[in-house]
Structure 1
Amino acid sequence: MSSQVVTEGFTDEQKEYLQGFFAGLSARKFAPFVGTLPDGLITASSAPGLKNEAAAAGSSEQTVFGTPVSDLCEQEIWKLEQHGLDIWDKLLAHATENRFPDKADTFRFRYHGLFYVAPNQNSFMLRCRVPGGQLNGLQLRGLANIADDWGAGYADLTTRANIQIREIAPKHLVKVLLKLQELGMTSRGSGVDNVRNITATPTSGIDAFELIDSLPYAKALHYYILNNRDLYNLPRKFNIAFDGGGAISVVADTNDIGFLAVKVGENKPVPPGVYFRVQLAGITGHSQFAGDAGVLVRLEESVAVAAAMIRVFAENGDRTDRRKARLKYLIDKWGIPKFIEDVEKKLAFPLQRMPVTDCIPAHPPISHGHLGVYKQKQKGRNYIGVSVPVGRMRTRQMRRVADLADNYGTGELRLTVWQNLLVPNIPDAYVETVKRALLRVGLYHEATSIAGGVIACTGNTGCKFAATNTKGQAVELVKYLEKRVSLDRPINIHLTGCPHSCAQHYIGDIGLLGTQVSLGGEQSDGYHVFFGGTSGPHEVLAREVFHGIPFQELPALLERVLHRYLAKRTRNESFREFVSRYQVKELQEMFSGD
C-alpha cells in the first residue's frame, strides 16, 4: 500500500496531523485506510479525489433521515436544535460562571465526555477515550494530576477499557478538556449517541496466542470517527470491539459490532490466512449476544466495513423511541441479510459470504488471564496483569504505576474490559522488583479467585440510574467471601446497579442486578441474583435464580452457594458448568436454607 497520504481538501494543520498520524502507523508496519469516493462509496484503498467527510453537513428542515421532525424523540430535537460538537462557547460560559447546564445542554455536554451526574453528585464526571485501551505513563500521570487538581483524587477504570474522573466542578470544565488535549488524549464523543471507546485485545502485539495485532485497527477507526462529523449524532450509543485472539477476552460478542480474528485454511473460497468474522447487535442488557453476520472481512477492509455499518445505522435506526434505538432493534426489524446488503451498497468492494464453520477460531482466552505475570512473544519480556479492586485507583497508585511502566518497561500501559490494567514489556530481571513495588501501593499482580473476578459499575454514589451502592458492596462481598470460601477455580461476580447493565451481570458466573427492596417497612439495597453466564465460544446468558434479596442477606447466600458448588460438583467442573446442569427451581432448592 502506498505510504503517500492523500490530504487534498484539508487545512495545512490537518495535513500536518494526518502525515504524522500515518507515519506513526507505518512504524507498526501497517496503516489501515478508509476513505470516501466522490460517488459516496467507502473504500479501503487510497486514491486521489477522496471526499472530505469531516465537513459539516446540512440537515433537512422537514425530516431527519426520513423521520418527520414532529415524530422525533426529545433528545433528537435537542440534536437538531444544536449539534453537540458546536457548544464550545457554552462550555466556556458555564466554566466562567461556575454554572451547571440545563437539561438539553446536559445532554450536549456529553458529546465532550462531560457528564453532569446530579443528584448523586452535584458535579461532573469526565469520560476519556483510550482507543484499544493503550496509553502511556505520561498520560496516566497527567490524568492523576487532573484528578488531584480538579477532581476528588481518584479515577475509575471502566468495562470499556477506559478511564473516568469524577467530582469536577463546572468552573474547571475547560481546564480539564485542555489538559486532556495536552496529554494527546480526547473525550470527544465518549457519551450519549456516539461511537463509544473502541476496544481491542489488551495483549495486542505482545501475545504469543494472538492471530493478529488488533490495536492498529481500533486506533485507525478511532481517528476516522473523530474526524468525520457524520459519525456523531447516531440514534443511540454504539460499541465496537476488535478481537485478535489471545489470552484476555475483550467480550466482543457484547458489542454492536465485533470483529473477531479467525484463520482460513486451504481449499476455501478465499486465500488462506487471517481474516475478521463480523458479529452484530450484541446488547446483553437486552438479553442478546452479538450474532454472526455470515461474512468474512479482509483485515485491511475492516475499518471501511465498520464505517459503512455505522452509517447504515445512523440513517435507518429509530429516532422516535430511545428504548428501541440500538442496532439490535434495526436488525430485529430488517434481519441481518438486509442489513449486510445495505452495508454493501456503501462499499467500493464486495463482502465475502462464508459459513463460520469453515473458519478456524482463535485460541480461547485464559480465565482470569488479565491477572498475573505472563511471557510475551518478545523474548525476555513479560506483561503483568494488575488487580484494581472494582476499578478504582487513587492518584498515588496511578503515579506509581506510571513510574513503573517508565522505569522498568517501555512506558506503555494497557487497560482491559475487566476494570484492571497491564504493565507490558517488563524484562525478566525486573519482574520481582515491579511486583514488590505494586504491593507497596496496595496493588496486586495476583488476586484470589474471588477478588480477581469482581466487576462493579459506578453505583448510586455517582449514577442516577443505579439502585444500589455497587462498588462499596462489591468490596464488602469480597472481604466476606475471602474469609469463608476457598476456591481452586476462578469465578466472576458482576454487580450492576440498574437494567442498563454497564457491568454486564448477564455474563457473570454470578450476576447481581441492583434493586430496592422492602426490609422492616423501609426501602433498602437489594439484588436480583443470576447464575451461569459467560461470553465467548460458550456464550450463555445468566438465569435469574433469586429475586429481590436484601444486601444484608446476600453475603451469607453467596457463601452457601459456593460451598454447595464445591461439595456437589464433578471433578474440575466450573461454576457455570455446574449450575447449567440444573433447572432454576432445583437451584433455588439446593441453595436455600441451611
Structure 2
Amino acid sequence: MAAVDDPKTLGRTRLSFANEAEIDEFAATLDKFEKGELTADQWRGYRLVRGNYGQRQDVVQMIRVKIPQGVLDAPQLQALADVADTWSRGFGHITTRQNVQFHFLQPHDVELSMRRLAEAGLTTREACGSAVRNITGCPYAGVAADEVFDVTPYAETLTRYLLRHPLSSSLPRKFKIAFEGCASEDHSLTPINDLGFRARLRGRERGFRLTVGGGTSTVATSGTELYEFLPAGEIFEVAEAVLRVFHRLGDFKHKQRNRMKFLIRELGWDGWRAEFERELQAFREEGGAPFAFPPDQPPVETAPDWPRPLPPSSTECAARATAAQVRGPGLVPEAPPRFAPAVRYDLHWASTNVRPQRQPGFSTVTVTLPLGDLTGAQLR
C-alpha cells in the first residue's frame, strides 16, 4: 500500500497510514546508534516517536501499532498476526487507546515488523513519546442506532492531517484526542482526552461539542468546554491552534506536570482561552487549513461487492482459537479450553453480545479479550 500524507479520506482500506522511507530512516538511525554515533538519549528520543519502547529486560523492545479509530480490515489482521507469530511471542496486546502492542522484539526485528505492517497500511509513527497519540473513535461508529452521525471520516481525516505534522512529535508531553458520535452514551470517554469531539447537529449542519484539557492519572480532570458547537469544517484549524499553544507555552522540563491540563491550570481558563484565540487568528491569517471534504458530505465507504462467505461453525472457531502457539518470556495468555458447542450457550452469548445495527441484516458483535491479549491464531 502506498503511503498517503494528505488528509483526504477515502476509507482506511484504500489509503495507507505507513511510509516506507520512514522505515529506511529508522534502520539507518539504529545502525548509527549501534556504531556509537548517537547517544542513548538521542536514540531514545528518536525511537519513541517511531512507536518503539525499551523494556526493563536487556536489549528487547516493544512496538506499539496505531489502529486509527480502532478499525482493521482482514489483511491488517493478517499482518498483526504475522508480527505476533514471527517476531514477538505469538500474541499481541490491545490497549485502551485502540493500539496493538508487541513485546520482546529483538532490535533488528523491529524494522522487519514495521515493513510487514506497512504492507497492510499500518504505522507505529507517533504511537509513543511526547506526540499526538492514536486518535480514538467510538467502537460503534457507523452502526449505532442512535448515533448523531458517523464520526469516522472526521476522525480519520484529522488523523491524516496530524500524522507526521511538524508539531505532532515535538510537544512537551503526549496529547490525546477522541471522537464520539452516539447520542445516549459516550463510549470514547471524550472528557478525559486533551481534545474530545462529541457529535452535534445544528439544523442539518454537522459539528462537535469540543472539550479541552481532560486527563486521568495525576490530578484527574474532565475537559472544559471550548465550543458548544464547532462546525465540522473547522476541526483542523482548532486542533492546530491548540497544539500551537501547547508547544509554545507547555512545560518541557517537568514530566510530572506538563500535560495540557496543567497548562490550563497555570494560565487560568481565561488566560489559556486568550492564547488559543491568538493562535487561531494567526493560523487563519496564514491561510489556515482547508478541510479535506465538504463537511456535511463526508465520503461514504461502501460495502464490498463480493458475496459474503459462510461463517465458520462454532467447532471451527474453537479449533482455530485453541491452535495458538504462545511463548515466553514474561506472562503469556493461556490457550482457551476446547469447548463442546451447545445451542443453549450460543443463545445466551447472542443475547448479551450481539445487537442489531443500523444496516438491516447486519449485527454488531462484542467480544471479551481476557487481559486484552489476542493470539496470532485468534487474529487470523
Partner of 1:297: 230
Structure 2 distance, partners of 1:191, 1:86, is 18
Greater relative contact order structure (CA < 8 Å, 6+ sep): 2
CA 1:333–1:207: 2 relative to 1, 3 Å: same
Partner of 1:22: 8
Structure 1 distance, partners of 2:165, 2:212, is 22
Deviation of residue 25 (structure 1)? 5.4
Counterpart secondary structure, 1:187 = coil
Amino acid at match of 1:336: W
Structure 2 distance, partners of 1:191, 1:152, is 21
C-alpha distance after superposition, 1:526-561 (max 9, x if no partner): xxxxxxxxxxxxxxxxxxxxxxxxxxxxxxxxxxxx
Is 2:181 aligned against 1:195? Answer: no
Counterpart secondary structure, 1:276 = strand
**1:324 pairs with 229, 250, 257, which one?**
257
Partner of 1:212: 149
Amino acid at match of 2:207: Y
CA contact (8 A) 1:147 1:153 kept: yes
CA 1:275–1:126: 2 relative to 1, 3 Å: same
Partner of 1:143: 80
Counterpart secondary structure, 1:24 = coil
**2:210 pairs with 269, 278, 287, which one?**
278
Structure 2 distance, partners of 1:135, 1:262, is 26
Structure 1 distance, partners of 2:224, 2:211, is 5
Higher strand share: 1
Deviation of residue 130 (structure 1)? 1.1
Counterpart secondary structure, 2:371 = helix
CA contact (8 A) 2:59 2:107 kept: no
Gaps of 5+ in 1: 1-12, 29-84, 265-270, 351-370, 400-594
Structure 2 distance, partners of 1:107, 1:221, is 25
Match runs of 1:179-194 below 5 Å? 179-194=116-131
Structure 1 distance, partners of 2:156, 2:144, is 18
Gaps of 5+ in 2: 15-23, 286-351
TM-score of the superposed pair, with normalisation by structure 2: 0.71
Partner of 2:374: 393
Is 2:326 aligned against 1:340? Answer: no
Aligned residues: 298
CA contact (8 A) 2:52 2:63 kept: yes
Structure 2 distance, partners of 1:109, 1:378, is 43
Partner of 1:530: none
Partner of 1:259: 197
Amino acid at match of 2:97: R
Deviation of residue 294 (structure 1)? 4.8
Partner of 1:154: 91
Structure 2 distance, partners of 1:172, 1:380, is 43
Match runs of 1:147-546 below 5 Å? 147-245=84-182, 249-264=187-202, 273-286=205-218, 287-347=220-280, 372-399=353-380
Q: CA RMSD in A?
A: 2.9
Structure 2 distance, partners of 1:225, 1:164, is 21
CA 1:186–1:101: 2 relative to 1, 3 Å: farther
Deviation of residue 240 (structure 1)? 0.5
**2:63 pairs with 126, 130, 135, which one?**
126
Amino acid at match of 1:22: K
Deviation of residue 145 (structure 1)? 0.5
CA contact (8 A) 1:200 1:243 kept: yes
CA contact (8 A) 2:353 2:367 kept: yes
Deviation of residue 341 (structure 1)? 2.9
Structure 2 distance, partners of 1:123, 1:189, is 20
TM-score of the superposed pair, with normalisation by structure 1: 0.47
Deviation of residue 229 (structure 1)? 1.9
Deviation of residue 273 (structure 1)? 4.6
CA 1:161–1:140: 2 relative to 1, 3 Å: same
CA contact (8 A) 2:200 2:229 kept: no
Partner of 2:291: none
CA 1:394–1:336: 2 relative to 1, 3 Å: same
CA 1:236–1:23: 2 relative to 1, 3 Å: closer
Deviation of residue 227 (structure 1)? 3.7
CA contact (8 A) 2:167 2:243 kept: no
CA 1:26–1:238: 2 relative to 1, 3 Å: closer
Structure 2 distance, partners of 1:86, 1:302, is 31
Structure 2 distance, partners of 1:93, 1:182, is 25
Structure 2 distance, partners of 1:172, 1:25, is 30
Amino acid at match of 1:235: P
Amino acid at match of 1:277: R
Q: Which has the larger radius of gyration?
A: 1
Structure 2 distance, partners of 1:263, 1:251, is 19
Amino acid at match of 2:100: I
Amino acid at match of 1:396: A
Of all paired residues, the percent bearing the same amino acid is: 29
